[in-house]
A = this chain, B = another copy of it.
Amino acid sequence: MVLTKNGRLLFNSVPVSDGIVPGTLRYDESEIIDLDAAPLNGGALFKLLAVSADPFLTALMSPAYSESAFEHLTYKIGKPIVAYAVIVALRSEIPTVKPGDHFMNMFPLEEYFIIDCLPERTVPLPSDVGIPWSTYVGVCGMPGQTAYMGWKEYSKAKKGETAFVTTGAGPVGSFVIQMAKRDGLKVIASAGSDEKVELMKSFGADVAFNYKTANTLEILEREGGIDVFWDNVGGVTLDAALQASRSKARFLECGMMAAYGATDGPNAIIKNIWNIVGKSITMVGFLVWDLYEGHLDDFYTTVPKLVADGEIKYREDVTRGLGSLEDAMIGLFKGTNVGKAVGIVADE
Protein backbone atom coordinates (compact mmCIF):
# COMPACT_ATOMS: atom_id res chain seq x y z
CA MET A 1 0.00 0.00 0.00
CA VAL A 2 1.46 3.35 -1.11
CA LEU A 3 -0.75 6.09 0.29
CA THR A 4 -0.04 9.38 -1.48
CA LYS A 5 -1.54 12.85 -1.26
CA ASN A 6 -3.26 13.64 -4.54
CA GLY A 7 -2.98 17.37 -5.28
CA ARG A 8 -5.82 18.69 -7.40
CA LEU A 9 -6.54 22.07 -9.01
CA LEU A 10 -10.28 22.68 -8.51
CA PHE A 11 -12.68 25.15 -10.09
CA ASN A 12 -13.63 27.37 -7.16
CA SER A 13 -15.79 30.20 -8.53
CA VAL A 14 -16.94 31.62 -11.85
CA PRO A 15 -14.90 34.77 -12.59
CA VAL A 16 -17.01 37.91 -12.96
CA SER A 17 -14.82 39.44 -15.63
CA ASP A 18 -12.98 37.61 -18.39
CA GLY A 19 -9.93 35.61 -17.47
CA ILE A 20 -8.78 33.91 -14.31
CA VAL A 21 -8.50 35.99 -11.13
CA PRO A 22 -7.39 35.10 -7.59
CA GLY A 23 -10.04 32.76 -6.17
CA THR A 24 -11.13 31.33 -9.49
CA LEU A 25 -9.15 28.15 -8.80
CA ARG A 26 -8.32 26.34 -5.55
CA TYR A 27 -5.48 23.91 -4.94
CA ASP A 28 -6.59 20.97 -2.78
CA GLU A 29 -4.52 18.20 -1.16
CA SER A 30 -7.24 16.55 0.92
CA GLU A 31 -7.56 13.46 -1.27
CA ILE A 32 -5.42 10.40 -0.60
CA ILE A 33 -4.82 7.74 -3.23
CA ASP A 34 -3.32 4.25 -2.96
CA LEU A 35 -1.11 4.08 -6.05
CA ASP A 36 -0.53 0.31 -5.76
CA ALA A 37 -4.01 -0.89 -4.89
CA ALA A 38 -6.64 1.61 -6.03
CA PRO A 39 -9.04 -0.49 -8.14
CA LEU A 40 -8.86 0.23 -11.89
CA ASN A 41 -12.13 -1.50 -12.91
CA GLY A 42 -10.86 -1.99 -16.44
CA GLY A 43 -9.32 1.48 -16.66
CA ALA A 44 -5.85 2.83 -15.98
CA LEU A 45 -4.04 4.94 -13.37
CA PHE A 46 -2.16 7.91 -14.76
CA LYS A 47 0.29 10.43 -13.34
CA LEU A 48 0.25 14.07 -14.47
CA LEU A 49 3.63 15.30 -15.75
CA ALA A 50 3.16 18.60 -17.61
CA VAL A 51 0.24 21.00 -18.03
CA SER A 52 -0.52 23.74 -20.54
CA ALA A 53 -1.95 27.11 -19.43
CA ASP A 54 -3.97 28.44 -22.36
CA PRO A 55 -6.13 31.57 -22.81
CA PHE A 56 -9.01 29.54 -24.25
CA LEU A 57 -9.53 27.80 -20.87
CA THR A 58 -11.61 30.78 -19.72
CA ALA A 59 -14.21 29.70 -22.25
CA LEU A 60 -14.75 26.56 -20.16
CA MET A 61 -15.51 28.59 -17.03
CA SER A 62 -18.74 30.22 -18.18
CA PRO A 63 -21.97 28.37 -17.37
CA ALA A 64 -23.47 30.13 -20.40
CA TYR A 65 -20.84 28.66 -22.66
CA SER A 66 -22.59 26.40 -25.09
CA GLU A 67 -21.24 26.75 -28.63
CA SER A 68 -17.72 25.52 -28.09
CA ALA A 69 -16.11 22.39 -29.37
CA PHE A 70 -15.13 21.90 -25.71
CA GLU A 71 -18.66 22.17 -24.34
CA HIS A 72 -18.51 18.69 -22.76
CA LEU A 73 -15.47 19.83 -20.76
CA THR A 74 -17.14 22.89 -19.20
CA TYR A 75 -15.83 23.34 -15.66
CA LYS A 76 -17.91 22.35 -12.64
CA ILE A 77 -17.51 24.07 -9.27
CA GLY A 78 -15.54 21.88 -6.83
CA LYS A 79 -14.21 19.58 -9.58
CA PRO A 80 -10.70 19.55 -11.11
CA ILE A 81 -10.34 21.84 -14.12
CA VAL A 82 -9.34 20.30 -17.42
CA ALA A 83 -6.41 21.41 -19.59
CA TYR A 84 -3.97 20.07 -22.15
CA ALA A 85 -1.52 17.84 -20.32
CA VAL A 86 1.06 15.08 -20.72
CA ILE A 87 0.42 11.99 -18.62
CA VAL A 88 2.17 8.68 -18.03
CA ALA A 89 0.46 5.38 -17.24
CA LEU A 90 1.40 3.80 -13.89
CA ARG A 91 -0.92 0.78 -13.96
CA SER A 92 -3.37 -0.31 -16.66
CA GLU A 93 -6.15 -2.75 -17.42
CA ILE A 94 -6.76 -1.04 -20.79
CA PRO A 95 -5.37 -3.44 -23.43
CA THR A 96 -3.80 -0.67 -25.55
CA VAL A 97 -2.13 1.11 -22.61
CA LYS A 98 1.05 -0.15 -20.94
CA PRO A 99 2.76 1.26 -17.82
CA GLY A 100 5.28 3.87 -18.98
CA ASP A 101 3.23 4.92 -22.02
CA HIS A 102 2.87 8.70 -22.42
CA PHE A 103 -0.14 10.52 -23.83
CA MET A 104 -1.26 14.09 -24.56
CA ASN A 105 -4.83 15.41 -24.53
CA MET A 106 -7.12 17.42 -22.28
CA PHE A 107 -7.09 15.76 -18.87
CA PRO A 108 -8.23 16.69 -15.34
CA LEU A 109 -5.58 18.56 -13.36
CA GLU A 110 -4.99 15.97 -10.62
CA GLU A 111 -1.56 14.57 -9.81
CA TYR A 112 -3.04 11.08 -10.18
CA PHE A 113 -6.30 9.91 -11.73
CA ILE A 114 -8.02 6.76 -12.94
CA ILE A 115 -10.01 6.83 -16.17
CA ASP A 116 -11.90 4.09 -18.04
CA CYS A 117 -10.52 4.89 -21.47
CA LEU A 118 -8.48 7.49 -23.31
CA PRO A 119 -10.70 10.26 -24.67
CA GLU A 120 -11.06 10.99 -28.37
CA ARG A 121 -8.07 12.69 -30.03
CA THR A 122 -5.59 11.42 -27.40
CA VAL A 123 -2.12 11.49 -28.93
CA PRO A 124 0.35 8.73 -27.96
CA LEU A 125 3.79 10.30 -27.51
CA PRO A 126 7.13 8.86 -28.62
CA SER A 127 9.68 8.27 -25.87
CA ASP A 128 12.93 8.38 -27.83
CA VAL A 129 13.20 11.93 -29.16
CA GLY A 130 15.05 13.52 -26.29
CA ILE A 131 12.93 16.61 -25.67
CA PRO A 132 11.21 17.55 -22.40
CA TRP A 133 7.64 16.34 -21.86
CA SER A 134 6.52 19.94 -21.43
CA THR A 135 7.21 20.58 -25.12
CA TYR A 136 4.34 18.23 -25.94
CA VAL A 137 1.84 20.77 -24.65
CA GLY A 138 3.67 23.64 -26.38
CA VAL A 139 5.81 23.57 -29.47
CA CYS A 140 4.98 19.87 -30.02
CA GLY A 141 1.43 20.20 -28.66
CA MET A 142 -1.69 22.04 -29.71
CA PRO A 143 0.00 25.44 -30.21
CA GLY A 144 2.67 23.89 -32.40
CA GLN A 145 0.10 21.80 -34.28
CA THR A 146 -2.00 24.91 -34.90
CA ALA A 147 0.96 26.84 -36.30
CA TYR A 148 2.41 23.97 -38.35
CA MET A 149 -0.80 22.50 -39.77
CA GLY A 150 -2.56 25.85 -40.29
CA TRP A 151 0.46 27.26 -42.11
CA LYS A 152 0.92 24.15 -44.27
CA GLU A 153 -2.77 23.92 -45.17
CA TYR A 154 -3.77 27.53 -45.70
CA SER A 155 -0.81 29.93 -46.11
CA LYS A 156 -0.04 28.98 -49.74
CA ALA A 157 3.21 30.76 -49.00
CA LYS A 158 5.53 31.65 -51.84
CA LYS A 159 9.18 32.63 -51.44
CA GLY A 160 9.61 36.40 -51.42
CA GLU A 161 6.16 37.16 -50.08
CA THR A 162 5.52 39.04 -46.83
CA ALA A 163 3.75 37.58 -43.78
CA PHE A 164 2.36 39.48 -40.80
CA VAL A 165 2.18 37.44 -37.60
CA THR A 166 0.32 38.71 -34.53
CA THR A 167 1.12 37.60 -30.95
CA GLY A 168 4.48 36.66 -32.46
CA ALA A 169 6.08 36.01 -29.07
CA GLY A 170 3.42 33.48 -28.07
CA PRO A 171 3.57 29.72 -28.57
CA VAL A 172 1.63 29.75 -31.86
CA GLY A 173 2.98 33.00 -33.31
CA SER A 174 6.63 32.21 -32.56
CA PHE A 175 6.27 28.92 -34.45
CA VAL A 176 4.50 30.65 -37.36
CA ILE A 177 7.36 33.16 -37.65
CA GLN A 178 9.77 30.25 -38.04
CA MET A 179 7.53 28.43 -40.58
CA ALA A 180 7.34 31.62 -42.65
CA LYS A 181 11.10 32.13 -42.55
CA ARG A 182 11.69 28.49 -43.54
CA ASP A 183 9.47 29.14 -46.60
CA GLY A 184 11.51 32.21 -47.56
CA LEU A 185 9.08 34.98 -46.62
CA LYS A 186 9.77 38.36 -45.10
CA VAL A 187 8.15 38.35 -41.66
CA ILE A 188 6.57 41.28 -39.82
CA ALA A 189 5.57 40.36 -36.25
CA SER A 190 3.78 42.17 -33.46
CA ALA A 191 3.40 41.73 -29.70
CA GLY A 192 2.60 43.85 -26.64
CA SER A 193 5.95 44.55 -24.95
CA ASP A 194 9.51 45.53 -25.88
CA GLU A 195 10.79 42.31 -24.29
CA LYS A 196 8.54 40.36 -26.64
CA VAL A 197 9.81 42.40 -29.60
CA GLU A 198 13.33 41.17 -28.85
CA LEU A 199 12.04 37.61 -28.50
CA MET A 200 10.31 37.81 -31.91
CA LYS A 201 13.57 38.97 -33.48
CA SER A 202 15.33 35.96 -31.93
CA PHE A 203 12.73 33.72 -33.63
CA GLY A 204 13.69 35.32 -36.96
CA ALA A 205 11.16 38.16 -37.52
CA ASP A 206 12.59 40.69 -39.98
CA VAL A 207 10.41 43.51 -38.62
CA ALA A 208 9.15 43.24 -35.03
CA PHE A 209 7.15 45.91 -33.24
CA ASN A 210 5.22 46.65 -30.04
CA TYR A 211 1.64 47.32 -31.14
CA LYS A 212 1.03 49.35 -27.97
CA THR A 213 3.60 51.99 -28.94
CA ALA A 214 3.71 51.76 -32.77
CA ASN A 215 1.05 52.22 -35.48
CA THR A 216 0.30 48.84 -37.06
CA LEU A 217 -1.11 50.19 -40.33
CA GLU A 218 1.81 52.57 -40.84
CA ILE A 219 4.29 49.75 -40.41
CA LEU A 220 2.43 47.36 -42.73
CA GLU A 221 2.18 50.03 -45.44
CA ARG A 222 5.80 51.12 -45.01
CA GLU A 223 6.84 47.49 -45.52
CA GLY A 224 4.86 47.35 -48.78
CA GLY A 225 1.80 45.36 -47.69
CA ILE A 226 1.22 41.74 -46.78
CA ASP A 227 0.46 38.46 -48.56
CA VAL A 228 -0.20 36.26 -45.53
CA PHE A 229 -1.83 37.38 -42.27
CA TRP A 230 -1.73 35.15 -39.22
CA ASP A 231 -4.49 36.58 -37.05
CA ASN A 232 -4.59 35.88 -33.33
CA VAL A 233 -6.16 39.19 -32.34
CA GLY A 234 -8.86 40.49 -34.74
CA GLY A 235 -10.30 43.97 -34.18
CA VAL A 236 -8.31 47.01 -35.28
CA THR A 237 -5.32 44.85 -36.20
CA LEU A 238 -7.42 42.80 -38.62
CA ASP A 239 -8.80 46.03 -40.06
CA ALA A 240 -5.26 47.33 -40.63
CA ALA A 241 -4.25 44.03 -42.24
CA LEU A 242 -7.26 44.23 -44.61
CA GLN A 243 -6.25 47.73 -45.59
CA ALA A 244 -2.58 46.81 -46.10
CA SER A 245 -3.33 43.54 -47.85
CA ARG A 246 -1.94 42.81 -51.27
CA SER A 247 -4.03 41.17 -53.98
CA LYS A 248 -4.85 37.49 -53.35
CA ALA A 249 -3.65 37.56 -49.74
CA ARG A 250 -4.45 34.71 -47.38
CA PHE A 251 -5.81 35.52 -43.90
CA LEU A 252 -5.43 32.66 -41.41
CA GLU A 253 -8.00 33.35 -38.72
CA CYS A 254 -6.64 31.51 -35.70
CA GLY A 255 -8.13 33.73 -33.00
CA MET A 256 -9.52 37.18 -32.24
CA MET A 257 -8.35 37.85 -28.68
CA ALA A 258 -8.98 41.60 -28.99
CA ALA A 259 -12.51 41.10 -30.32
CA TYR A 260 -13.81 38.47 -27.88
CA GLY A 261 -16.29 40.14 -25.60
CA ALA A 262 -15.84 43.55 -27.27
CA THR A 263 -19.37 44.93 -27.67
CA ASP A 264 -18.37 48.46 -28.62
CA GLY A 265 -15.24 50.43 -29.42
CA PRO A 266 -12.87 49.96 -32.34
CA ASN A 267 -12.19 46.26 -31.66
CA ALA A 268 -15.90 45.40 -31.97
CA ILE A 269 -16.26 46.45 -35.60
CA ILE A 270 -14.51 45.89 -38.91
CA LYS A 271 -14.57 48.71 -41.45
CA ASN A 272 -12.43 47.34 -44.25
CA ILE A 273 -14.10 44.03 -45.05
CA TRP A 274 -14.80 45.13 -48.66
CA ASN A 275 -11.12 44.54 -49.39
CA ILE A 276 -11.99 40.83 -49.48
CA VAL A 277 -13.77 41.48 -52.76
CA GLY A 278 -11.55 44.26 -54.04
CA LYS A 279 -8.34 42.32 -53.45
CA SER A 280 -9.56 38.73 -53.85
CA ILE A 281 -8.58 37.87 -50.28
CA THR A 282 -9.22 34.41 -48.83
CA MET A 283 -10.02 34.39 -45.10
CA VAL A 284 -10.12 31.04 -43.31
CA GLY A 285 -11.20 30.26 -39.78
CA PHE A 286 -10.08 26.83 -38.64
CA LEU A 287 -9.81 24.45 -35.72
CA VAL A 288 -6.62 22.46 -35.51
CA TRP A 289 -8.26 19.06 -35.18
CA ASP A 290 -10.06 19.51 -38.46
CA LEU A 291 -6.57 19.39 -39.95
CA TYR A 292 -5.45 16.22 -38.12
CA GLU A 293 -6.37 14.04 -41.05
CA GLY A 294 -3.54 14.51 -43.48
CA HIS A 295 -1.26 16.46 -41.11
CA LEU A 296 -0.99 14.76 -37.69
CA ASP A 297 1.35 11.95 -38.73
CA ASP A 298 3.53 14.43 -40.59
CA PHE A 299 3.57 16.67 -37.52
CA TYR A 300 4.74 13.98 -35.10
CA THR A 301 7.34 12.52 -37.43
CA THR A 302 8.72 15.97 -38.30
CA VAL A 303 8.37 18.51 -35.49
CA PRO A 304 9.75 16.76 -32.37
CA LYS A 305 12.91 15.99 -34.33
CA LEU A 306 13.22 19.59 -35.58
CA VAL A 307 12.81 20.75 -31.97
CA ALA A 308 15.38 18.24 -30.69
CA ASP A 309 17.83 19.40 -33.37
CA GLY A 310 17.28 23.08 -32.50
CA GLU A 311 15.83 23.77 -35.97
CA ILE A 312 12.60 25.04 -34.42
CA LYS A 313 13.13 27.23 -31.37
CA TYR A 314 10.67 27.76 -28.55
CA ARG A 315 10.44 29.65 -25.31
CA GLU A 316 8.71 28.35 -22.18
CA ASP A 317 7.59 30.16 -19.08
CA VAL A 318 7.76 27.28 -16.61
CA THR A 319 5.89 26.99 -13.33
CA ARG A 320 6.77 24.09 -11.00
CA GLY A 321 4.03 22.35 -9.05
CA LEU A 322 0.30 22.12 -9.63
CA GLY A 323 -0.34 24.43 -6.67
CA SER A 324 1.47 27.31 -8.37
CA LEU A 325 -0.42 27.06 -11.64
CA GLU A 326 -3.19 29.49 -10.70
CA ASP A 327 -0.67 32.35 -10.52
CA ALA A 328 0.74 31.35 -13.90
CA MET A 329 -2.72 31.44 -15.42
CA ILE A 330 -3.47 34.86 -13.95
CA GLY A 331 -0.20 36.09 -15.47
CA LEU A 332 -1.28 34.72 -18.82
CA PHE A 333 -4.30 36.98 -18.83
CA LYS A 334 -2.31 39.97 -17.69
CA GLY A 335 0.12 39.32 -20.58
CA THR A 336 3.05 39.29 -18.16
CA ASN A 337 4.39 35.89 -19.13
CA VAL A 338 6.89 35.59 -21.97
CA GLY A 339 6.85 32.32 -23.87
CA LYS A 340 4.52 29.36 -23.62
CA ALA A 341 3.08 29.06 -20.09
CA VAL A 342 3.55 25.48 -18.91
CA GLY A 343 3.37 23.78 -15.55
CA ILE A 344 5.78 20.99 -14.68
CA VAL A 345 3.87 18.84 -12.20
CA ALA A 346 6.34 15.98 -11.85
CA ASP A 347 9.62 14.80 -13.39
CA GLU A 348 8.38 11.34 -14.41
Q: Within the complex, which residue of B234, B280, B287 is in contact with A286, where a contact is CB–CB below 8 Å?
A: B280
A281 touches B285 (CB 8 A): yes
Q: A77 an interface residue at 8 Å Cβ cutoff? A: no
Q: Is the CB of A283 within 8 A of B280?
A: no
A259 to B286, CA, bound (A): 26
**Contact among B270, B278, B290 for A270, CB-based, below 8 A:** B270
Please tell me if A238 contacts chain B, counting CB pairs below 8 Å.
Answer: yes
Q: Taking each of A255, A277, A279, which has the highest tally of chain B beta carbons within 10 Å of its own beta carbon?
A: A277
Least CB distance, A177 to chain B, in whole angstroms: 20
A282 CA to B282 CA, complexed, in Å? 7
Complex Cα spacing A259 to B269, Å: 14
**How far in angstroms is the closest Cβ of chain B from A130?**
35
The answer to whether A278 and B271 touch across the interface, beta carbons within 8 angstroms, is no
B273 contacts A280, CB within 8 Å? Answer: no
Chain B CB within 8 A of A33 CB = no
Check: A179 CB closer than 8 A to any chain B CB: no
B269 and A253 within 8 A (CB): no
Separation of A249 and B269 alpha carbons in the complex (Å): 21
Contacts of A280 in B (CB 8 A): 285-287, 290
Select one of B248, B270, B274 contacting A273, CB under 8 A: B270
Beyond A269-B269, A269-B271, whether A256 also contacts B277 by CB under 8 A is yes
- Tell me whether A268 is interfacial, beta carbon within 8 Å: yes
List, in ascending order, chain B residues with CB within 8 A of A286's CB: 280
- Chain B residues lying within 8 Å of A296, measured Cβ to Cβ, are none
Q: A253-B276, A270-B269, A277-B255 are in contact. Are A285 and B282 (CB under 8 A)?
A: yes
The residue in chain B whose Cβ has the minimal distance to the Cβ of A285 is B276
Q: Does A185 contact B (CB under 8 A)?
A: no
Q: Is the CB of A274 within 8 A of B256?
A: yes
A285 to B280, CA, bound (A): 4
Q: In the complex, which of the residues B270, B275, B282, B287 contacts A284, with contact meaning CB atoms closer than 8 Å?
A: B282
Residues on B with beta carbons closer than 8 Å to the beta carbon of A53: none
A70 in the interface (beta carbon within 8 A): no
**A283–B252 alpha-carbon span in the complex (Å):** 11
In the bound complex, CA of A274 to CA of B273 (Å) = 12
Residues in B whose Cβ lies below 8 Å from that of A271:
268-270
A residues apposed to B, CB below 8 Å: 67, 234, 238, 248, 253-256, 259-260, 268-271, 273-287, 290
